[in-house]
Amino acid sequence: MSRSLFETLENRYLFAGVPDISITQRSIYFNAIQNTSDTQVLRIVNKGTANINLLPGSVYILGSHKARFTTNMPAEGKAIKPGYRFDLRITFTALPDDTNVNIARLIILSNDPDTPGITVGLRGLPTKGEGGSLEPSLQRVIDTFGLPINVGDSNPDDYLLGTPTSDSDEIVIQALQRADPTKTVSIRPLAMFGVKSGPAVRLGYYSPGQIESRKELWYVPIESAQSVNPIVYGQTLINPGDTPFALFTQWPGFYNLDGTTRIVYQEDGLNATWETNSSKTRKMRFYPFVDQFGNAAPNTYLVAVEEYTQNYDNQDLLFIISNVKPAESKPTVAATANFLQPNNRLVFNKVAVSDENYPNTTRLTQTVRVRNTGSQTLVASFATTGNFSITSGGGTNVNIPPGSFRTVTITFTATSGSLHNGTFTITSNDPDNPVITYGLVGYWQPYSEYPPGQPNNSVEPTAKTIVNDIFGFTTNLTNSGQALSTGGQVRTTGDEILSPYWTVADDNGVVRVTQLASFHQQTYIDSEGAYQPTQSYISWYEQGKPSVSTKIFTHAAGDGQTVLPRKSGSLSNISSGAFNPGDKVFGFIVEGGEYSDPTLNPDSMGRTGYGHFVRFWPAYDSQGKLIPNTYIMLQDYNRAYTNYDFNDNIYLIENIKPVSDVKSVLTVFTEETSRGARISFTSPASGPRIEGFRVYRSTSARGVYTLLTDTPLARRPVTTFIDETVSPTDTYFYRIVAVGVGGVESQPVTVSI
């Protein structure tokens, strides 16, 4: 009976169990508009074998701004059972007229013998509001995290960065390389004060100068567009290999003057296509990373991004990238042109004998802007093959200084035949991309629409020729043995889907429409008997209100027989436009006569189940990869002269999904394991109910896919499937689909191993 107190306690822990407290983070960051609040959750987990006892008064806040922070800690305390957790909600309230960083610390005292006390840092950023001058400055955002990084802002109380002062920590980096070849590169968001769109921003990387090589990594959803705690979906760890790479961000809420989506590149020169102020093309600023204690992190940088053309604040997106170093100084070639994306080609067409009533305007020439985004003089030579020639800006051993560009004009020169293929090659002293080749595709036709007096003998390219051969999409408009024409009957061919109505794919995002081709009558006769040029237009309307439509764009006069018709009112810009339908369900209408809802299109014979004049196919790129939420829309006129060739107007429509669509899976990771091909993915956070997932496999990107999961995989936080039947020497393609109620499948996400 003489055991010591120590022995008593030791045996009590041995037989009664020991509490073990664990928390999810040691620092918590907040931001809130003045006079509002922001709540974050600190998860406290008991990993031990006895209760964690948080007694009354054992959780409290200290510091000069402690009054700004409150918790939901029960006054009577809290007991956390072994294996259980408690979510401590901490709320930061911003005072009126306060823009200074509020700092406090949370203290947690418990009965854990190893960790009786825990301190969690609390830092809150009050803001004046959202957008423009109401946002915090870049320096204030960095101060919120307690990072001793100087961005050279002469007035951090003003949201603008202006011209950085000479003591700025910024260093200029136009391209990166992996620092340690045995480790991955990490790119993770820190904060964002950008435009609210769905999503708010996308981030990825590409080979310097080669914008067609872009690979998206992750995106920030709309709810984190103004946050020091942005949510991110996607891949934050990458292996870029040992070659240089550069970063880009895409901003769905911003559009350039030509209607294209705003993309910000790490290479300053690439931003000159939309930033007209030559002194403001640097849109990504790099700062060597220093932690809260003043320790420099090797090969790690804080990156601040600007996406606008005025009011430069550079806090639209902040992220940290690690295990990188500046790429060596060198010349870097970059080329931009009409519709190099998504299939890395330039398209042309020519009508030999023009329409006698209104001359045809066709896509006879294309221009390529070749820019040096590197730090040394670029020496480049240009060449074409096939029935294409360089008519200006060409040459051999052409010197392009850093930051400068050269415009090369390519002309389609065919005089007969139909489909013509060629190449445009840039050979330069860029050590990473010494030879770059783009495809050239042109279509030659002897007359506009058909020969004189032969209205049934069309010389236009077919819809298949336009979609597959000219633009390079691998979408199957028909399957073997099928004809594209269904005589107006509502049924599918090839990859086609039936969906008269649509919703925007990214919540609160915009829908973008680009006209790929117009091959319809060049002219029509007006009420006075005069010939007028036919100018097709496309509109959208809300479901249930077909008589009220909003025009998206009209193509230019004279462009009735061409690929990439010009936009009305423009001499060069291709026909494109965007609209924001919000949460509306919508359909499309072409020229006020053909609706995407076939029930609104009259049938000449009064039949039901007909009226199929506007049709949709999912877009697959030249490599057979599905382009997410992107569809090719074919239209044919519902008139007396209808021939159901569906090449009258062809559009590419981005950021839409069928109204009954189930959302696709997210964050797909693949790896080879000793057991086989391992595929991991997560469920979408919102949308229609998901019952499970199916996995299909093929030996080619656009081949026949076989179902591998007879029973849908169960939904988990991270769902994993291992294909144990693969050969380690072969390449396999997988499609993962989410399965909704009634077996409805989402758009597939395709990966290869």
CB 306 within 8 A of CB 312: yes
Instruction: Mark whether 323 and 339 lie in a shared domain.
Output: no
Q: What is the pLDDT of residue 713?
A: 93
DSSP 8-class letter at 17: -
Distances (CA, A) of 89 to 29, 224, 251: 13, 19, 32
Q: Are 465 and 445 in contact (CB under 8 A)?
A: no
Confidence (pLDDT) at 571: 66
Q: Is residue 7 part of a domain?
A: no
CATH assignment of the domain containing 67: 2.60.40.10
Please indicate, yes or no, whether residues 317 and 355 belong to a single structural domain of this protein.
Answer: no
In the predicted structure, residue 2 carries a pLDDT above the cut 50? no
Say what the pLDDT of residue 265 is.
96
How many domains, in total, are found in the chain? 5
Q: Most distant CA pair in the chain: distance in Å?
A: 119
Whether residues 27 and 81 share a domain: the answer is yes
Taking only the tens place, the pLDDT of each residue in 419-473 is 999 999 999 999 988 999 999 999 999 999 999 989 889 999 999 999 999 999 9
Residues 581 and 481 in one domain: yes
For residue 391, give the nearest of 365, 426, 414 by alpha carbon.
365
Domain match, 355 and 318 both: no
Given this model, what pLDDT does residue 9 score? 45
Shared domain check, 649 and 504:
yes
Local structure of residue 470 (DSSP, 8 states): I
Answer whether residue 14 shows pLDDT above 80. no
Give the model's pLDDT for residue 24.
85
In tens, the pLDDT along 327-338 reads 988 888 888 887
- Picking from 328, 345, 375, the residue at the C-terminal end of a domain is 328
433 token code pair: 């991309």
Residue 749 bridge partners (DSSP):
736
Query: Does 5 reside within a domain?
Result: no
* Tokens representing residue 594 in the block: 């053909």
Question: Among residues 127, 150, 167, which one ends one of the domains?
Answer: 127
User: Does one domain contain both 498 and 581?
Assistant: yes
Say which DSSP state 440 is in: E
Structural domain includes residue 465: no
Are 373 and 395 part of one and the same domain? yes
Whether residue 596 lies inside any domain: the answer is yes
Tell whether 312 is covered by a domain.
Answer: yes
- Tell me, yes or no, whether 107 and 172 share the same domain: no
CA distance 180 to 187: 15
210-258 confidence digits (pLDDT tens): 888 899 999 998 899 999 989 998 899 999 998 899 999 999 888 887 7
CB distance 679 to 723 below 8 Å: yes
Give the pTM: 0.73
Mean pLDDT of the chain: 91
Instruction: Convert the pLDDT of each residue in 18-27 to its tens digit.
Output: 999 999 899 9
Predicted pLDDT of residue 367: 93
In a domain, 8, yes or no: no
Looking at the fold, whether 314 and 340 belong to one and the same domain comes out as no
Q: Is residue 460 part of a domain?
A: no
End position of a domain, from candidates 626, 658, 690: 658
Closest-CA residue to 145 (of 191, 91, 192)? 191
Q: How far is CA 423 from the centre of its chain?
A: 28
Residue 452 lies in a domain: no
What Cα–Cα distance (Å) separates residue 281 from each residue in 153, 242, 277, 405?
18, 27, 7, 14
- Give yes or no: residues 706 and 599 share one domain: no
Same domain assignment for residues 221 and 343? no
* Domain that includes residue 482, residue range: 472-658
